[in-house]
Amino acid sequence: MRCGSSAIPATGIRQSSTMTSIRSGRATSGTAGITYEVLGEQADEPLVLISGLGSQMVYWTDELCQVFLERSFQVIRFDNRDVGLSSKTPGTAASVGEVLQGHGGRAPYTLSDMAADTVSILDDLEMASAHVLGVSLGGGIAQTMALEYPQRTDSLISIMSAPRAGMAVLKNPASSDAVSKSLTMDMSDPRTWIDTQIEGWRAISGPHFDERYMRNILQCSFDRCYHPGGWSFQMAAALASGDRVERLSGLDLPTLVIHGAVDPLIPVAAAELTASAIPGARLEIIEDMGHCLLRPHWKRVADSVAKLAQEARLILSPTPSSPCL
């Protein structure tokens, strides 16, 4: 592990690249410290953004967050445990490949712990609840939070995710190549880490892959903290968390499931299973989206999230009925 000078997170206020005020803090979740940032107006509805496997909060770039801010959300982004400036699990991690093959040993935590991490941020901010959006592994965390903390979840947005671990496609050449490049590549050499990751993202991102955009994210991630073991610990958590399909059938929350039609990593069938399990969930398939939320789809996704939030408001604050005359 190698972390930069920012390894000890500071709390305070700064300006984003889009000149938006950013408040930073660190929540406590059991023995873990979770570093987070809040963008936007405190009067706006909070929207928690949860990153995917091995990704830091910088996946949610200032430009991407701005699209949500323009729709009157207060955005909360954070580093999941074992990445970025949040706490790291002690000890040596097995490789992701070993974890996938069942040789990684006992998982040190599960998605339930990562959902509790998310709730700890709301506690630290003294927020009763928030809209919760997760991508990929983050979608699994968001689903788990909705199941275990429904009173803290105003709405659920699950993007490019699945209701159980192990749904990555491995049976056709394109998917096998995507999995090998994005999940089981060798990340042990910090000198080649960014280039290796670029090829992983190229393999899974679909037709709108933007190398310059992703390289900037990866460089920022590397400068904040290089910790490839975090991928393994998080993958182990996902595999140890079981199947959520049956429990999702009891969920009573406004829910949006979004998936890319050309996602080579997690099949559309995973999104269909998630949406069919949750009563009233809306499924949105984006034809030219792969396994990455890129600029051409930001506004469409943000508009759909804003629509869901409006529906949630109507449920939480129904219009009073007219008195009888």
pLDDT (tens digit, 9 = 90+) per residue, 238-270? Answer: 999 999 999 999 999 999 999 999 999 999 999
Element (H, E) at 135: strand 130-135
Residue 323 lies in a domain: no
Residue 142 belongs to some domain of the structure:
yes
pTM for the full predicted model: 0.92
Give me the mean pLDDT over the 71-82 stretch: 98
Between the CA of residue 98 and those of 109, 177, 307, what are the distances in Å? 17, 18, 42
> How many other C-beta atoms are found inside a 10 Å radius of the C-beta of residue 24?
16
In a domain, 325, yes or no: no
d(C-alpha 117, C-alpha 80), whole Å: 8
Q: How far is CA 88 from CA 31, 80, 127, 220, 274, in A?
A: 10, 10, 26, 18, 30
Q: Is residue 262 situated within a structural domain? A: yes
- 320 in any annotated domain: no
| Residue 89 located in a structural domain | yes
Backbone φ and ψ of 180, nearest 5°: -65, -35
Question: Do 154 and 256 form a contact (C-beta atoms < 8 A)?
Answer: no
The identity of residue 84, as a single letter, is G
Closest by Cα among 33, 21, 26 to 11? 26
Q: Which amino acid is at 251?
A: L
Q: Is residue 324 part of a domain?
A: no
- pLDDT tens, position by position, 265-310: 999 999 999 999 999 999 999 999 999 999 999 999 999 999 999 9
**Alpha carbon separation from 41 to 71, 74, 235 (Å, rounded):** 11, 6, 34
Domain hosting 285: range is 9-315
- Strands (DSSP E) along 189-271, which ranges? 225-226, 255-260
CATH of the domain at 125: 3.40.50.1820
For tokens 């073991």, the residue is 229
Strands 255-260 and 282-286: parallel
Residue 64, classed as helix, strand or coil, is helix
Number of domains in the chain: 1
For residue 322, tell me if it sits in a domain.
Answer: no
Q: What is the pLDDT of residue 6?
A: 46
Two tokens, residue 68:
């949500």
pLDDT for residue 12: 72
3 state DSSP class of 103: coil
Question: How does pLDDT run across 3-40, given as a tens digit for each residue?
Answer: 764 444 556 777 777 657 899 999 999 999 999 999 99
What is the side-by-side order of every strand in the sheet holding 255-260?
12-15, 21-29, 32-39, 73-78, 45-50, 130-135, 153-159, 255-260, 282-286
- Both structure tokens of 323: 């008195």
H or E stretch covering 38 = strand 32-39
